[in-house]
Structure 1
């Protein structure tokens, strides 16, 4: 299932990782391993935030995707199921059939 992995890095931990050079290396390594469909980076509510769109085949894979960010940055990690336009197109008729 396609998931949006939202990673929010606390300012103190993010500043430390940025200053010591570990943040860039960590992000590069994580993107290489996780192979997200897309990755976006921004600031949200004053904190460094990443949005990674990944394929989670089984809920047992959630630690593989999330724990690295908890351990490296004391980050908040959220998993949100998402769909693309084609999946929405396939799903809407099913939703309408259920409303009847």
Structure 2
């Protein structure tokens, strides 16, 4: 199932991770584990924020990736299902056909 992981990194924890040099490693590890179709990095509410769009095969994928966001970056993390346009077309088609 296609999912989006959003991680908001508080300023102080992000600054510490940058100073220690751990930020690039944490992000590279997340990308290697998730193999996202897209990864975006921005600001949200004044916090460093990243979005990873990926295919979750099993819920057991969550702990190896999420724990570094929690323990090393003190991030606020959310994961939720998302659709692309093809998924939406299929879902709406099923809705309209009554299946």
Fold in common (TM above 0.5)? yes
Q: Deviations over 1:35-93 (max 9, x none)?
A: 11110000110000000011112333322332221122111110110011111111102
C-alpha RMSD over aligned residues: 1.5
Q: Deviations over 1:3-57 (max 9, x none)?
A: 0000111111001111221111221232123211110000110000000011112
> For residues 6 and 19 of structure 1, what CA distance do their matches in structure 2 show?
23
Structure 2's unaligned 5+ residue stretches are none
How many aligned positions are there? 98
Alignment of 1:18-57 (within 5 A): 18-57=18-57
Calculate the TM-score normalised by the size of structure 1: 0.87
Alignment of 1:1-100 (within 5 A): 1-98=1-98
Calculate the TM-score normalised by the size of structure 2: 0.87
4+ long deviations beyond 6 Å:
none
SS of residue paired to 2:72: helix
Indicate conservation of the 8 Å contact 2:33/2:65, yes or no: no
